Amino acid sequence: MRITRLSVNGQEAGCITDEHPVFAFSLDSDLAGEDLAAARIRVGDWQIVTDQQIGIRYDGPLAPYTDYLVEVEATGTSGATATSTAAFRTGRLDRPWIGRWITDASYVTPKKASPTPMVFRTRVTVDRAVTRAWIEATALGVYELTLNGHKVGEDYFAPGFTSYHHQLQYQTYDVTQLLRDDAHNDLVATVAGGWAVGSYTFARKNKIYADRQAFLAELHVEFADGTSDVVPTGDAWEVSVDGPVRMAEWYDGETVDARITAERMAWHPADVTAPPASPAIRAQYGPPVRVQRTFAPIGRTTAPSGEIVYDFGQNFAGVVHARLRGREGQTVVFRHAEVLVDGELFVKSLRTAKATATYTCADGDQTYSPRHTYMGFRYVGVTGIDSDDLELTALVLHSDLRRTGTFTSSDERLNRLQSAIEWGGRSNFVDIPTDCPQRDEREGWTGDYAAFATTASYNFDMSRFVDKWLRDMAAEQAPGGGIPMVVPRAGNGFPVMATSLWGDVCVMAPWAEYLARGDLGVLRRSYPMMKKFVKAADWWSKLLAVGERRRIWRFPFHFGDWTSPDGSAKEWIQKGRWIGTAYRANSLGIIAQIAELLGETTDAARYRSTRDEVIAAYRSVFTDGAGRLKNEFQTAYVLPLHFGMTDGAETEAMVDNLVRLIDDAGGHLRTGFPGTPYILFALSDHGRVDRAFDLLLQSGPPSWLYMVDAGGTTIWERWDALRPDGTVNTLDLNTGKDTGGMVSFNHYAAGAVGDWLYKRIGGIEPTSGGYRTFRVAPLLGGGLTSAEAVVETPYGRASSSWTLSAEGTFRLRVEVPVSTRCTVVTPDGRQAQVTSGTHDFVCEAATTAPAMVDGRGLTAPRR
């Protein structure tokens, strides 16, 4: 038996924390049927004996700046043992900062524009041998440090995006190897406006959290003679706004003049300041943004305009990296776009964003890559340099997320779809879950992630990422329970109120994470926020309503069937009451289960009772009582079917009516954000497996495979973002005029179909938190002859791999991690309960579908 992964706060190494950490470990064994009997976990004099492998909280003492060794000895039910160690280090805890916030008080940030980056510097003299040195730093803005000309750390966009009025992360960087003994050391920080001060939101607001940038840091040095010192920020530092980075912002890009050196800059003493609010400053608790891979171009052309165009073959979020031979004063311009039209970069869809990096050369060989911005792009247009003098690559940037899932099948189109889903996630997981990475937006829209949460949690370990975001969500929840439509709100103009799907994220995102990771902590921390939200939904439902209509959620506002291929934005919104009421029932059902898990049995009973009342109202108000909606549209059938809101003949009628609407649409879906994640489940889980596969494999617009066949390498915001004639759909959603309206080729919400790929084709889904119990029940159809879904669960690797021969023989291999149980359902309807190990099944293929399960991975309630 072996411990295959031991994590502290979700990290296998390098954990620095100001909070009591949480441990988890996975096991592997050569012995089938092995389970954990007990584990002894020691940290110094503290120890615990437990039969749990995840969510194990350290409750021992914590002292600042202390290294702690975690020792785990696990014993299996067979008597086999395994050991492993990990470590964590505490940060400041609640120790006051010696450093003071510094800025340039004379600088005035221009209106609706990002500020000029500020450069702060100090010189540190070291007069004796150093054993250890580290820097703790944070900023209002985004900062980058250099020590003696070398970049400190690997992070981009530190300190990360949080609700700065409430909480702020600081980073810790070990600089022992960069600090020179017996020499002067130059410590420099460049601070751009970022999210705190820079231009943000499509309204181009700025100074959202502060009037200008500010920086806070301490350099800690420990010497060989046992002494130590701290070099803090304060009025001994200097500041300049004449640095080489002339402009930096999210939307317009970055401008750098390599001719500007420290000697040419105007310096003056920094001013001591204070942030406008008093946020809690804590050691970084979210994953940093870092370079994840490097792309070389797959092609190079010359546009009719003369611009050199590089194709990187994949739409993604990141920056260019240029090695170039230039002469002093030569200016090279890099423009970015997602698509080409007639051989030219198509930038109209960027709206006001320029997405341009401009670099003025020094003389000779040099390198340039933007450090204070990022773009969403596949294509880069370059002017100002000959291609022979340029070697261009691209750096993929996103939060440092461990990949936990893979899906493949015999249909290469579905494999490309899965790749597009993954890249849509990667591109939009840049410190927060953004809507898109390219245009003048890139905000944390809550509805997008609510739709995508379960798919995201299959593909990546989202635990630290989502937990960080949920802290901001809870901090910005309205006193009445409303959830911002964008988190952090950061200048977004929408009022904070309870609204369906967008607000339901406070229930759906923690639930998806619990099912994927099994740690009750995320539910416990989010439960107060959930309770306030469902209470707000209840209040709004009762407003100006009588009788059963007091359970219909109409007010104050819903986005409705957002991005449906049918109608305008106004028409999508008008469908809000159907969608709001169904999502209300769904969230009540989830929070009832959460309440049970947390021991809140009285709450659970109340939520179940209210859910029943909401379901009864939906059926009475919106249907004829026999399964037909009075106002028909696909999403209004999909949601009650998938959320377990129907019964008996009514269910069959609703399925028939949904199929009829699909047929009326020529075999296409007509769902927006709320219905798209569930339409295939609504079909397959109610006996229409063939129709679900037909819809999945539909290749005409609107469809998932249309995007893939049209060359999309990420998921689009609008189903017809690129029309069959090759033109881009930039029509305004309400006027129908071509104004460069809402269109993005990298918008992950419709990629929520990935949930069905894993759960129904691969057949693998959790039935309790963290896959302690799970189910493997593949569906056959669509001409597929094989598929495989692999998930790295908290307990270890779980997988489902199947083949179907031409003669109809079905072969399935299932991997079950130590300490877990799996229910296997083969296509002939037989079930088997299996324990850890690898299990093989063979049967003759049949059309019998597995028993109905809902999208939450739990048996759907029958009425």
Phi, psi of 690 (to 5 degrees): -60, -40
Whether residue 513 lies in the annotated active site: no
DSSP single-letter state for residue 330: -
What stretch of H or E contains 84?
Answer: strand 81-90
Q: Tell me the one-letter amino acid at 87.
A: A
Exposure string of 68-85, with b = 16+ CB inside 10 Å and e = fewer, is: bebbbebbbeeebebebe
Q: How far apart are CA 455 and CA 448, in angstroms?
A: 12
For residues 252 and 204, the answer to whether their CB atoms sit within 8 Å is no
Q: Cα separations (Å) of 58 from 42, 83, 192? A: 9, 18, 38
Phi, psi of 136 (to 5 degrees): -115, 130
The residues, ordered by sequence, that sit 6+ positions from 603 with a Cβ below 8 Å of its Cβ are 531, 591, 592, 595
Kindly state the tokens that stand for 184.
């002067």
Q: How far apart are CA 355 and CA 506, in angstroms?
A: 32
Q: How far apart are CA 603 and CA 21, in angstroms?
A: 29
Q: Cα separations (Å) of 144 from 119, 121, 160, 261? A: 10, 12, 12, 17
For residues 93 and 20, the answer to whether their CB atoms sit within 8 Å is no
Kindly state the tokens that stand for 630.
């009075």
Q: Which of 254, 441, 443, 792 is catalytic?
A: 441
Task: Judge if the upstream peptide bond of residue 528 is cis by omega within 30 degrees of 0.
Answer: no
Maximum alpha-carbon separation in the chain: 85
Bridge-based pairing state of the strands 364-368 and 837-844 = unpaired
Q: 17 pairs with which residues across the strands? A: 90
Q: How far apart are CA 845 and CA 783, in angstroms?
A: 13
> What does the angle CA 587 – CA 593 – CA 597 come to, to the nearest 5 degrees?
140
Which residue do the tokens 């990771």 mark? 517
Q: How far apart are CA 230 and CA 833, in angstroms?
A: 60
The residues, ordered by sequence, that sit 6+ positions from 451 with a Cβ below 8 Å of its Cβ are 501, 673, 674, 676, 677, 749, 752
Burial class (CB in 10 A: 0-12, 13-18, 19+), 47: exposed
For residues 527 and 594, the answer to whether their CB atoms sit within 8 Å is yes
Whether residue 238 lies in the annotated active site: no
Please report how the helices 520-542 and 576-597 are oriented relative to each other, as an axis angle in degrees rounded to 10: 140
For residues 240 and 260, the answer to whether their CB atoms sit within 8 Å is no
Kindly state the tokens that stand for 584.
């209300």
Please report how the helices 648-664 and 689-696 are oriented relative to each other, as an axis angle in degrees rounded to 10: 30
Q: Look at residue 132 and give its three-state secondary structure.
A: strand
Q: What sign does the dihedral 287-288-292-296 (CA atoms) show? A: positive
Q: How far apart are CA 20 and CA 57, in angstroms?
A: 7
Burial class (CB in 10 A: 0-12, 13-18, 19+), 547: exposed
Kindly state the tokens that stand for 117.
């980056």
Contacts 24+ apart (CB under 8 A), 52-55: 53/24, 53/25, 53/26, 53/27, 53/794, 53/795, 53/819, 54/24, 54/517, 54/518, 54/519, 54/770, 54/794, 54/795, 55/22, 55/24, 55/518, 55/519, 55/520, 55/521
Q: Which of 717, 765, 792, 815 is catalytic?
A: 717
Residues acting as catalytic residues: 441, 717
